[in-house]
């Protein structure tokens, strides 16, 4: 008899931002496949004897490739186990959860999707920045920024993005100069505010503020690395009024 697979969003980093349903899944799972950005404090809630399998991916150093993750999910479920696939953020926001669900459906393994709080909303909130605001932003979009981008092989609709009030880029630190240049080229003003939030919602959170013309240099100066969220838009200015979270030692803004 097949087991069951839970595709669960672990949230953005702060373990207290896990949903109640996510916690239930951790507590009942027989085997847990977890990603690099999952706060390992969450794993302390597992039941005695639950097996842990690390599936982390980072630049130049992958844990298990995606096909192997698919194989493990199917293999463990076919052994009759309760399998938890624990992902940072939300499983359907750049988390490849849909691919994993499709594989499970193909082999008739039942599954449940448990949404999680995504970093594109949570990290700005902890930095005191709302992604929408009655006076500043009526539109909000989230974008992956980690793929190699160039003029010949681009995949983003830059004219449309330049019209959005607020744009959140995931995994874009390595491409920040290209991102900023493209937004300016297609209509964003060079002085449009930009916030970069490193390790958002965790005790190591740092925020730097700049604009499209300066942010690439600011990132280099302050040695900001992934995981970081890049937020572009006038809402960044609201931070001066409502910043609330005590950031790492010396706030960089």
pTM: 0.91
Check which CATH number belongs to the domain holding 106 and give it. Answer: 3.40.1010.10
Q: Is 35 designated active site?
A: yes
Single out the catalytic residue among 35, 81, 188, 229. 35
Rounded distance, CA 64 to CA 246, Å? 35
Helix (H, G, I), strand (E, B) or coil at 139: coil
Residues 6+ apart with CB under 8 A from 220: none
Domain that includes residue 211, residue range: 119-242
pLDDT at position 83 over 80 = yes
In a domain, 233, yes or no: yes
Single out the catalytic residue among 57, 78, 181, 248. 57
What percentage of residues in the chain have a pLDDT greater than 70?
92
Rounded distance, CA 93 to CA 250, Å? 31
DSSP string, 193-220: EEEEEETTTSTT-EEEEEETTTHHHHHH
Q: Is 57 designated active site?
A: yes
Question: Which pLDDT score, from 0 to 100, does residue 252 have?
Answer: 43
Task: Identify the bridge partners of residue 58 per DSSP, sorted by sequence position.
Answer: 61
| Pair 149, 216 in one domain | yes
pLDDT at position 154 over 90 = no
Q: Is 81 designated active site?
A: no
Helix (H, G, I), strand (E, B) or coil at 242: helix
Instruction: Name the average pLDDT for the chain.
Output: 93
Check which CATH number belongs to the domain holding 148 and give it. Answer: 3.30.950.10
35-69 pLDDT, tens digit each: 999 999 999 999 999 999 999 876 555 657 899 99
Single out the catalytic residue among 30, 81, 164, 171. 171
């Amino acid at each position: 008899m097949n087991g069951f697979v839970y595709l669960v969003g672990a949230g953005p980093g702060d373990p207290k931002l896990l949903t109640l349903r996510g916690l239930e899944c951790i507590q009942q799972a027989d085997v847990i496949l977890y990603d690099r950005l999952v706060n390992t404090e969450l794993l302390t809630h597992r039941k005695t004897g639950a097996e842990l399998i690390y599936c982390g991916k980072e630049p130049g150093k992958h844990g298990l490739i995606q096909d192997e993750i698919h194989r493990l999910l199917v293999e463990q479920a076919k052994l009759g186990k309760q399998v938890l696939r624990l992902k940072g953020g939300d499983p359907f926001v750049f988390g490849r959860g849909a691919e994993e669900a499709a594989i499970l459906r193909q082999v008739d393994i039942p599954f449940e999707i448990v949404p999680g709080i995504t970093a594109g909303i949570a990290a700005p909130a902890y930095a005191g920045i709302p992604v929408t605001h009655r006076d500043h932003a009526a539109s909000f979009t989230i974008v992956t920024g980690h793929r190699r981008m160039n003029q010949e092989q681009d995949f983003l609709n830059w004219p449309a993005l330049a019209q959005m009030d607020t744009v959140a880029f995931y995994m874009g630190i390595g491409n920040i100069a290209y991102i900023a240049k493209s937004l300016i080229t297609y209509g964003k003003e060079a002085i449009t505010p930009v916030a970069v939030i490193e390790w958002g919602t965790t005790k190591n959170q740092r925020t730097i503020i700049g604009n499209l013309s300066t942010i690439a240099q600011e990132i280099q100066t302050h040695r900001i690395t992934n995981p970081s969220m890049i937020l572009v838009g006038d809402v960044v200015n609201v931070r001066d009024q409502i910043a609330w979270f005590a950031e790492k030692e010396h706030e960089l803004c």
